[in-house]
Structure 1
């Protein structure tokens, strides 16, 4: 007997997924949400094919309390997991209608009332072999409303009797409200619970002005709580840590201790020995990579804290009913976990909270969507029977949403006499990458930490190995390497909230690994592409590397002042294969001129959707790599505007060429959303090194960082 796909096994009743109406319209529900990635279009293609209908007959219903609980839309798993579940669910529906009609030639409209879908799915249902829509670039279902400016986003939501709310944030982490001296403007309701402070009223502009008056008329108790932003390496290494061993083949690190903590805050190679753990960045700025007699290469790579910087600030809407029921509208990536977290935070029964998904202008990771929803809940509790919409400010979004963790990674590798890698040791230091609602058994909602009975939340955790890790995601190289030791060190205390950001730890880990591969290739006197191929037996990995190199004209010399660089990884070691070649110009500034990406995502549902995901991921990665860095002093985040937290401008966006590789019918879909992040960063870093002749190992790769590296190596 076959087994149901795991998401269908967790939600086996067909009616949770599909409803057939008497006019022939078919509502399809998935537990995955539209983030601008086009997932509802791809899932509609899968469902329509299996139902045997055209795309126009299918209406994708946003995720919510009436549909299946598929957890969080994350990890590049939507097509793989939700698509597999929906395909079998749709096949079950088609089979039940065919049985009711006595054959395969039937009308869904005619038999809608006769077929009961309140039944569990049959795992042995036959699947349709021919693909009609799957594999084609059909038009996106969500784009017409967005292109023509029709109401679609949560900010456009207008419910009967709707009020507007704003929250006055503490001025800094750990601040506590002492007193409110401002007079509340007429017509507005003041809401205070401990240090949670907000206003509610019928006119949004009046509420915004009132919130600013309130902000000016408050007194807070503040204290220094943040680390030194100029020495994040020391902060990350100081501990305490949870140690996560991915693999340990038993070999001691070259020139280091058996525990593998080489501690080298190095910017280059060493010939043996180990630095004091926690050494400052300045201790090793004069190092440089070279082939040494012991054939040892050491280097340390890092990234700062990074903000989601969503296009539109987060928003939430809540309606507190007089009978204690609660309705919430949110652009959360996990509406069911959010509902459970809100219930837990307020001591409600889980079934008293209903959360429905409404789109916002995009985010790949845990931004402030859940927090904005909980803000709305707390304000709505003060005005039962009236829905309240809360919109965050840009300053709040850049200051208070969870960040992608800063990370630092040490590589120590040896080369044999023939130039092959003979050992590999890797240590990465990071905060956790998971603090979504419900993490570690706590609600995980920002406002709960400032209420009168304030919640104490643990540091961010990491997903388990079965889910691809967090700090250690892609920390294990995909190459054929002997004597490996790969260990993570997750910080257990931090005043800075970190959580899931696109690709989690894979962004820095792939940047570090692939940068080290180039440095090892240089030490061995090998071409970077050939060096990788010599250490890679996976045919699909080899195929994307060769495809990207061929598309870029790898063997052709770049123009003066330009450099080519290569990056490669298989996402999570189990997902899509991706290789990137970057062309970087580094004369007056660092400019990425072109990115050549080859991607193997297995069975492709929508080719245009895959290209969109890869292009978007590559551009976002380029922005992280070149410009983005959260800035803060010892009390507060200071990069709270687009001027102080710059992102890549349209004039700086490189051309991205995407080559789809593989995609045979019998291959399972692997997901494209996060595959390009790490390889793109690595390719840019390697191209920059090729262009200027020095290597910058600490992100972002700014003009100032390049000048400092040149001065260091001069």
Structure 2
């Protein structure tokens, strides 16, 4: 397996990535004026950006066609994406998109993901943006490349391009003459800006998009092949382990380095301030040395952690920025009944199954890092600052990691690997965190508090809606070196960039805090905390998990107060026709409303449109409760999904099913254990997740396909609706309206006993 893309000619691409976009000729009709404007102004990139805002997806920021597709004279087609595979199947889906518009079998395309030495810069792979951004870019780039090649062939053949047939990178005339893509590209310069319009195929003719192409990443995973960055082996590779402080802000005072250097296989102990690591020839030797080094190190006292009992009360004190994100007013009936509720969510772990890992090599002045980061370009920039190296001397290559779905330790361990490799030039160094480090030094999901009140008129319609939340950004991604954990531990530490709220409509902690329902008077306030007592950052769906839980369970309370069926009540307050379709489909497939149910069983319904921008999801669930233990089982779920043009139906179902399971684990069981001294969730016994014995008996996903419609991100879309449906089903089963996450376990048992 090739660990770096040595077949990529980096010369032109590195030149382009340096920002030198000045050109003095017309790239294609209609861009001469833009090129002249770029030449005349030092802010070239700004003007390029303005001129490309009508382009699709990530073409806005990466507008050159050859940033996405390269074809050599031999006919080899290489397609690039700046997005990464995180286990969601997007590598397969993006390949399908490119193959469809290039009129090629997917197997004939070399498809490469994020690499700062080769791929377009698409920032982070997060927020269910991959298909909307990279998929849209590839769809249009591939169509334009195909169109240019066909036009070039038509000119050479002396025929109209409309009579030519394309199949598997071969262009044919009706009389049998043919030209390969490799031959045609000799008459076309693909180093040109994309155009706003593309010769897209009629969706009715698709034969790759809309099919369940087998996942590219699965065979290696199920056969034990090299699949993850954790699996990398390289000639002469050394192994390193790091020693982490016992608590935040503890300073390293003393080590037993001389003893460690005498241990078998140990090559070096590296210390820079409080950043401490040991390097050995073998992995087990590194683990043994790390344990001995940790036991022999002395630290100063660190920062006191918050009292878990007062976390939610404290949020209202530290949330010092008050941001109004919705304030609408229109005529409505007179309120006759008002309801209110408060909801809380605790800190949670990412719980990555594989501890974070990275391999780094510092050779000939260039630092190369293999990483499972969700953003190789932001990571590259952070490492550049930390190492004081020019950007062209730092390269980050993505490899899938075993476990992610948010900002876990991937970037931090990459920084560890780079710092250690710098001390051992010419030798690849593999660094993997220990399980307790992955848990205790995670970027936890922030705690949250939400409060909602709403009024009904005499006809059972909602006439006002007031919602407030207290939390943080939920996103402390790498925007400078100080966001990298080991960079803050150095003798000359870097300082983390200030936390800032993510703006709507995406949102951070306030993601999905504005209901999609049509309500006459809406006020939504985000009470933002720029600091948090624990290290926090992005977890799959950010604040949407909690906000949709609160909104959807409160909608059930309002429906009950209005004497209405929960599904009918939602439809009454929803004008979006696509939302109507998924709500009706989920209800129909479930057989809503259910007849009388068995004892300790309940059903629930919920809806959400992720970020009010991406996929629509509605679901109905059935659960069972064991009163003696508080255990809750998700027995059955029927889920309806509309994500626009579906690319890989099996992949979409896979992500919805996985999201349902993960959200069920969060909603029912997961919470970080800590006290004022330490993080106490350091292994799987102290941080339980949903086990195989508790997986749902059936999760059926029903897709509403919209051929030709924009791709809508689906990977995180089921997190909120799952939480809402479970909360409503628990009320149905127990008569207890539970508003504090997690919902199951000992707290539920006590509520049932009352």
When normalised by structure 2's length, the TM-score is 0.86
Counterpart position of 1:219:
298
- Secondary structure of the corresponding residue to residue 261 of structure 2: coil
Output aligned runs, 1:614-693, within 5 Å. Answer: 614-693=656-735
> 1:161 aligned to 2:161?
no
> 1:5 aligned to 2:56?
yes
| Structure 1 range deviating more: 104-113 or 22-31 | 104-113
Q: For residues 326 and 352 of structure 2, what CA distance do their matches in structure 1 show?
A: 36
> 1:523 aligned to 2:561?
yes
Shift of residue 667, structure 1, vs aligned partner: 1.7
Q: For residues 429 and 9 of structure 1, what CA distance do their matches in structure 2 show?
A: 34
Output aligned runs, 1:317-332, within 5 Å. Answer: 317-323=359-365, 325-332=366-373
Change (3 A) 1:240 1:657: closer
Which digits, 9 at most, give the CA deviation of each residue in 1:660-683, with x for residues without a partner? 343222321111101100000010
Shift of residue 185, structure 1, vs aligned partner: 2.8
Q: For residues 304 and 500 of structure 2, what CA distance do their matches in structure 1 show?
A: 21
Change (3 A) 1:240 1:600: closer
- Secondary structure of the corresponding residue to residue 83 of structure 1: helix
Give the alignment partner of residue 381 of structure 1, picking from 385, 402, 422.
422
Counterpart position of 2:654:
612
Shift of residue 710, structure 1, vs aligned partner: 3.8
Q: For residues 462 and 195 of structure 2, what CA distance do their matches in structure 1 show?
A: 50
Give the alignment partner of residue 37 of structure 1, picking from 88, 91, 101.
88
Counterpart position of 1:463:
502
Give the alignment partner of residue 139 of structure 2, picking from 66, 83, 87.
87
Counterpart position of 1:269:
none
> 1:75 aligned to 2:117?
no
- Secondary structure of the corresponding residue to residue 457 of structure 1: coil
- Secondary structure of the corresponding residue to residue 63 of structure 1: coil
Shift of residue 506, structure 1, vs aligned partner: 0.3
Q: For residues 145 and 44 of structure 1, what CA distance do their matches in structure 2 show?
A: 18
Give the alignment partner of residue 485 of structure 2, picking from 431, 446, 450.
446
Q: For residues 587 and 401 of structure 1, what CA distance do their matches in structure 2 show?
A: 32
Q: For residues 574 and 197 of structure 2, what CA distance do their matches in structure 1 show?
A: 39
| Structure 1 range deviating more: 333-342 or 186-195 | 186-195
| Structure 1 range deviating more: 182-191 or 85-94 | 182-191
Residues 190, 198 of structure 1: 8 Å contact kept = yes
Residues 599, 658 of structure 1: 8 Å contact kept = no
Residues 304, 676 of structure 2: 8 Å contact kept = yes
Shift of residue 114, structure 1, vs aligned partner: 5.6
Q: For residues 749 and 562 of structure 2, what CA distance do their matches in structure 1 show?
A: 27
Gaps of 5+ in 1: 252-292
> 1:502 aligned to 2:540?
yes
Q: For residues 447 and 474 of structure 2, what CA distance do their matches in structure 1 show?
A: 10
Shift of residue 704, structure 1, vs aligned partner: 1.6
Counterpart position of 2:288:
209
Q: For residues 447 and 481 of structure 1, what CA distance do their matches in structure 2 show?
A: 48
Counterpart position of 2:38:
none
> 1:191 aligned to 2:270?
yes
- Secondary structure of the corresponding residue to residue 42 of structure 1: helix
Give the alignment partner of residue 311 of structure 1, picking from 353, 375, 393.
353
Output aligned runs, 1:469-484, within 5 Å. Answer: 469-484=507-522
| Structure 1 range deviating more: 237-246 or 474-483 | 237-246
| Structure 1 range deviating more: 117-126 or 643-652 | 117-126
Residues 433, 461 of structure 1: 8 Å contact kept = no
- Secondary structure of the corresponding residue to residue 483 of structure 2: coil
Shift of residue 403, structure 1, vs aligned partner: 1.1
Q: For residues 229 and 515 of structure 1, what CA distance do their matches in structure 2 show?
A: 25
Give the alignment partner of residue 544 of structure 1, picking from 582, 601, 622.
582
Counterpart position of 1:278:
none
Q: For residues 526 and 334 of structure 1, what CA distance do their matches in structure 2 show?
A: 46
Residues 188, 207 of structure 1: 8 Å contact kept = no
Counterpart position of 1:127:
200
> 1:424 aligned to 2:465?
yes
Residues 460, 498 of structure 1: 8 Å contact kept = no
Q: For residues 113 and 508 of structure 1, what CA distance do their matches in structure 2 show?
A: 55
Residues 696, 705 of structure 1: 8 Å contact kept = no
Counterpart position of 2:442:
401
Counterpart position of 2:326:
247
Residues 230, 402 of structure 2: 8 Å contact kept = no
- Secondary structure of the corresponding residue to residue 604 of structure 2: strand
Q: For residues 707 and 399 of structure 2, what CA distance do their matches in structure 1 show?
A: 34
Shift of residue 339, structure 1, vs aligned partner: 0.2
Shift of residue 71, structure 1, vs aligned partner: 0.7
- Secondary structure of the corresponding residue to residue 593 of structure 2: coil
Q: For residues 579 and 183 of structure 2, what CA distance do their matches in structure 1 show?
A: 50
Change (3 A) 1:134 1:516: same
Gaps of 5+ in 2: 1-29, 31-51, 155-160, 165-170, 172-178
Give the alignment partner of residue 52 of structure 1, picking from 103, 110, 121.
103
Residues 406, 540 of structure 2: 8 Å contact kept = yes
Q: For residues 591 and 151 of structure 2, what CA distance do their matches in structure 1 show?
A: 57
Counterpart position of 2:77:
26
Which digits, 9 at most, give the CA deviation of each residue in 1:358-381, with x for residues without a partner? 111232111111111001011111
Residues 136, 711 of structure 2: 8 Å contact kept = no
When normalised by structure 1's length, the TM-score is 0.90
Q: For residues 656 and 409 of structure 2, what CA distance do their matches in structure 1 show?
A: 24
Counterpart position of 1:290:
none
Residues 460, 497 of structure 1: 8 Å contact kept = no
Residues 582, 617 of structure 2: 8 Å contact kept = yes
Shift of residue 354, structure 1, vs aligned partner: 0.7
Shift of residue 115, structure 1, vs aligned partner: 4.6
| Structure 1 range deviating more: 521-530 or 390-399 | 521-530
- Secondary structure of the corresponding residue to residue 36 of structure 1: coil
Which digits, 9 at most, give the CA deviation of each residue in 1:525-582, with x for residues without a partner? 2221121122112111121111111111222222222110111111111111111111
Counterpart position of 2:527:
489
Which digits, 9 at most, give the CA deviation of each residue in 1:156-176, with x for residues without a partner? 212232111111000111111
Which digits, 9 at most, give the CA deviation of each residue in 1:91-114, with x for residues without a partner? 232233223433542312444556
Shift of residue 490, structure 1, vs aligned partner: 1.3
Residues 640, 704 of structure 2: 8 Å contact kept = no
Residues 315, 391 of structure 1: 8 Å contact kept = yes
> 1:700 aligned to 2:738?
no
Residues 419, 524 of structure 1: 8 Å contact kept = yes
Shift of residue 497, structure 1, vs aligned partner: 1.5
